[in-house]
Amino acid sequence: MAVRSWLRTLVAGPAAARLAGCGAADRAVLNAPRCPDGPAARPAGRYVPAGPVWAWSPHLDAPPGGGVEGPVPGWSDVVSVADAGCTTVAVRADGTVWSYGTNVEGSLGHGYRERRYEARPRRVAGIDDARAVYASGPTFFAVRRDGTVMAWGADRFLVEAGKRRGHGGVPVPRRVPGLEDVVEVAPGLLNSFALRTDGRVRGWGVNVTEVLGDTHGTRLTTVGGVTQVASAGGAVVARRAGGRVCAWGNNAHGLLGVEPRGGQSAAPLLVPGLRDVVQVAGGDDVAYALDRHGRVWAWGRGAGGALGDGDRSQHALARPVRVARLPGIRRVAAFGRTGLAIDTGGGLWGWGSALGLGRHADRETARPVRIPLPGRAVEVSGHHVILAAPLP
């Protein structure tokens, strides 16, 4: 019996020492429920019917009297759109990629790095088989039909998949090395993640909050059974097959669903209180989940009203709360500290801080408001929506 007791002490000693040296938040993260093994997943991406694009507010730094507020010229058959605030990129039904707005270190993909505003969309050369586009600030990722990824823009480190080569942005699309069989990309400001057809997630970039795994290495923690993934600032949220949500990375704002807030985890943790989730979205240290009943849930940083809970102050919630005053929702998105949702009738709703732009200058709101559109919304990214075609 004495030998058994000594063995238990020997094995548990290092872990106990680590726990003793941690704060309450670190201990809470270490003891939080890990993401359970789930069924295998075969994510296939989202089909969006081609339609016109409508800008409901102009770009962040559009010149005085310039910028689009209304239909985007030439974008009548778009299947994917990514709005980075200064630059917007779209994929048309024929697989070509087009961009307009302010060029930030090559974000337009037109071959130059100088900062200037282009009011009319131009084609991004070198891609004719894209099916979706994603934005990480002024850096863009286009997923091709064969599952490879092309990237360009201001962050060379992300474009080169973590292998910095030279300085400055990348003004023309390049293939991201090592990415194959990709369904979707979830870019963040410091790192990016790709969801593969086998339901596994791959990440690259800066690993300051263990979003890429243990800080002693850069290999991403193995995460399987994922059907959708979203970067939420210092943490990553993922929808698992079966409708549960897992998160890993930084818990400073409660994105891992652990209280007290603080600490971080390379291992995916189960976010409590979320079931039957069909989609997740991530913004600036805030996350959203949409369940099969059409309800939207929010957690993380609530500054500027991002949680939709009526509070604009600097606060955070680790337990997801339902965003009230919304009708039945079928699509949710995030844009910085703004939540966006499309209801079952195609109406667009928004809450948070980025509504204070353009003709919505007085609309920073901590409760959802309806954003007027000339038709039914199908997809949204920032201040651009794909509308159902034809327009009424």
In the Cβ-directed half-sphere of 129, how many Cα atoms lie within 13 Å?
6
Same domain, 161 and 212: no
Same domain, 160 and 230: no
Residue 222 pLDDT = 63
Smallest CA-to-CA distance from 186 within 229, 226, 224 is with 229
Same domain, 221 and 326: yes
Same domain, 390 and 272: yes
Same domain, 219 and 157: no
Residue 170 pLDDT = 96
Instruction: Return the DSSP state at 219.
Output: P
The strand order across the sheet containing 277-282 reads: 277-282, 286-291, 296-301, 316-322
Residue 51 and residue 386 in contact, taking contact as beta carbons nearer than 8 Å? yes
Same domain, 336 and 221: yes
Mean pLDDT computed over every residue of the chain: 88
pLDDT grade for 323, boundaries at 50, 70 and 90: very high
Q: Please give the residue range of the domain that contains residue 234.
A: 207-392
Does residue 389 carry a pLDDT above 60? yes
Same domain, 148 and 217: no
The answer as to whether 15 is a domain residue is: no
Same domain, 228 and 277: yes
The answer as to whether 382 is a domain residue is: yes
Same domain, 153 and 254: no
Q: Where are the beta strands (DSSP E) in 36-154?
A: 53-55, 70-71, 78-83, 87-92, 97-102, 117-124, 130-136, 139-144, 149-153
Instruction: Please tell me the distance from the alpha carbon of residue 290 to that of residue 277, in angstroms, as a whole number.
Output: 6
**Helix (DSSP H) and strand (DSSP E) numbers for the chain:** 3, 27
Instruction: Please tell me the distance from the alpha carbon of residue 273 to that of residue 259, in angstroms, as a whole number.
Output: 13
The answer as to whether 16 is a domain residue is: no
What is the full DSSP assignment across 237-289?
EEEETTS-EEEEEE-TTSTTS-SS---EEEEEEEPTT--SEEEEEE-SSEEEE
The answer as to whether 232 is a domain residue is: yes
The answer as to whether 315 is a domain residue is: yes
Same domain, 167 and 243: no
Residue 4 pLDDT = 38
Task: Check which CATH number belongs to the domain holding 280 and give it.
Answer: 2.130.10.30
Q: For 64-78, 273-287, 358-372, which range has the lowest pLDDT when averaged over its residues? A: 358-372
Q: Tally the domains of the chain.
A: 2
The answer as to whether 35 is a domain residue is: no
385: part of which helix (H) or strand (E)? strand 384-387
Q: What is the pLDDT of residues 160-206, one digit of tens each?
A: 987 766 678 999 999 999 899 999 999 988 899 999 999 989 888 88
Same domain, 139 and 283: no
Residue 354 pLDDT = 64
Q: What is the pLDDT of residues 326-355, one digit of tens each?
A: 999 999 999 999 999 999 999 999 999 866
- End of a domain among 181, 197, 225? 181
The answer as to whether 61 is a domain residue is: yes
Q: Pick the more confident residue, 45 or 386.
A: 386
Same domain, 137 and 226: no
